[in-house]
Amino acid sequence: MTLVGAVRSVAAMSVEGDATHIAQAYPDRVEVRGRDLSRDLMGRVGFTEYFSLLLTGKEPTEEQRFFLDLLLVSIAEHGMMPTNIAARMTLAADPGSLQGAVAAGILGCGPVILGASEACAELLERAQARVMAGGDPADVAGELAREIKASRGKVPGFGHPVHTPLDPRAERILELADARAVSGPHIALARAFRDAVVETWGRPLPMNVAMPSAAALLDVGFPASVAKAIPILARTAGLLGHLAEERERPLGLLLAAKAEAGVRYEPAASDDDVRS
């Protein structure tokens, strides 16, 4: 069989799971999640609702829309964080590569910067499974905190180098969840973890924005799988703001120079061995 024939044969095969449920472009319309983009969505839904639809296949409830929007606003910007610095330095090195600079910033979204919400959601789901099996929320939080400490780990969603003793973003999310009567078992567990962390580590650690973000998402009915997508989208908006400013008021090369000036160079002992 020729290569062309093989490609045609594979293309003709019906393989289970070979379909997408996201979108399809046709000559006269674009269909997104079963809706006509131009006639059903444009002019009717805002971007927050559209993002929810793309992620989950469902248009959000009012509470889901409110908290998704709240979390996007809360996480989009946080000053000269490593993600923003990396993006600005990349644009300074290649002024024509806006997309490359955005990518450079997003690639820094890991468990230390932005990625903790996913770990928090997974921890809250583990905890809730134990509660559903008959455990008391406070006892479950204490048990998991001790297990994490025994393994020399850290409870995600606690501690912050700037916001202490409280992260104002975290407190506002909890406040609004209570005010809108959506605080459920996951927010209760987040609060239980706050007490358990103090007891287990013997010192107060501020609950940062990641823990109540994950708890609110779960309590309004979002799956844990979307928890990391939200800060990535939010921080993309922040990055674009920094990069727009970078083009008008360049700081990237200054940041690079300050980084070099702030780090002392010392030859390693092995370098002396090589020279000798």
What tens digit of pLDDT does each residue of 132-184 get?
Answer: 999 999 999 999 999 999 999 999 999 988 888 999 999 999 999 999 999 99
Which pLDDT does position 143 carry in this prediction?
Answer: 97
Asked whether the beta carbons of 177 and 212 are under 8 A apart, the reply is: yes
Q: Do the beta carbons of residue 197 and residue 205 sit within 8 Å?
A: yes
pLDDT of residue 27: 96
* pLDDT < 70 stretches in the chain: 1-17, 271-276
State the pLDDT at residue 165.
92
- pTM, two decimal places: 0.88
| Contact of 214 with 157, CB cutoff 8 Å | yes
Q: Which residues contact 108 (CB under 8 A, 6 or more apart)?
A: 82, 83, 86, 114
Q: What is the DSSP string of 15-60?
A: -TT---SSEEEETTEEEETTEEIIIIITTTS-HHHHHHHHHHSSPP
- The tens digit of pLDDT for each residue in 93-121 reads 999 999 999 999 999 887 777 779 999 99
